[in-house]
Amino acid sequence: MDEEWVLIAVYVPPGHTDAVCQAMFEAGAGTVDDGRYERVAFVSTARMRVRELSTATAHVSDEERVEMICHRERVRAVIDAILAVHPYEVPAISVIPMLNAAYGYWSD
C-alpha cells in the first residue's frame, strides 16, 4: 500500500483551480479506486511571497493549494495534465509518498 499511493499538491492562482482539478481528475487523481468516492480534492487558500532577485521587489499573491491522492502509476499523466492547463510556465507541484498503511488507519 505505501508504495502505491502519493499525494499530489499544486499551487494554482484563483480562477484556474477548476480547470486544474478537472484535468487532474481526468488523468486519474482524486480516487483510491474503492468504488465509494471519486473526484476528491482538498483546496485551501495560500499566500505566495516571493522576492524577484532582478528587481529586489517583494510580491505577494493569493493562491489555492490543490491536493489529491493518486496511484503511483498515474503520476506522470497527472503532472502532464496539470502542465497542460496551468497558467504558470513552471507551477509548484509536489509529489509526496503516502505512509498511511504503516500507521494502520487506512487499508485496501
Query: Checking DSSP bridges between strand 57-71 and strand 93-97, what pairing results, if any?
Result: unpaired
> Sign of dihedral through CA atoms 42, 47, 49, 50?
positive
pTM: 0.85
In order, the DSSP letters of 27-95 are TT-S--SSSS--S--EEEEEEEEEEETTTTEEEEEEEEEEEEEEEGGGHHHHHHHHHHH-SSSS--EEE
- 11-37 pLDDT, tens digit per residue, is 999 999 999 999 999 999 999 888 888
Name the class of domain 5-95: alpha beta
